[in-house]
Amino acid sequence: IAGITQAPTSQILAAGRRMTLRCTQDMRHNAMYWYRQDLGLGLRLIHYSNTAGTTGKGEVPDGYSVSRANTDDFPLTLASAVPSQTSVYFCASSAEAGASYEQYFGPGTRLTVT
C-alpha cells in the first residue's frame, strides 16, 4: 500500500441499505477527512478526525457516521442510504490537523443510490 486507498471503487446501492466506505492510509498521518464531491458544488467536508480516537462533524454530516479506532483506518458509514447521497466520496489525510499541512486524497468511491 502506498498513500491512501479506498474501497470499493464504485457501488450501486438500493435506497435504505447500509453501506460502509473504507479508507486506509499508510503514511502514519494523524488527521483524516471524508469529502463528497458533487457537480457544481465542489468538495464538501462530511466528517473529520484530528487523531485516532477522535472525530468531528464537517459541513454535511447528516446521514453519515465515522469511527477512528486506529491511525490507519477511517471508515464512513451510511446507515440508510438515500438518493441524495449519490456522489463521489474522497477520503483524505494530512500529517497534522494544522493550517499548513497539505491533504492527500484517495482515488475516490463513486456511489449511486437508486
Interface contacts to another protein, rule CB under 8 A: 35, 40-45, 48, 58-59, 90, 97-100, 102-108
Kindly tell me which of 16 and 32 has the beta carbon lying closer to another protein: 32
Shortest Å, Cβ 77 to another protein: 21
Shortest Å, Cβ 84 to another protein: 18
The sign one gets for the Cα dihedral 45, 65, 6, 26 is positive
Shortest Å, Cβ 89 to another protein: 11
Phi (first) and psi of residue 10, to 5 degrees: -150, 160
In which residue are the cell numbers 450501486 written? 12
* Amino acid making up residue 40: G
Phi (first) and psi of residue 100, to 5 degrees: -90, 0
Kindly tell me which of 13 and 43 has the beta carbon lying closer to another protein: 43
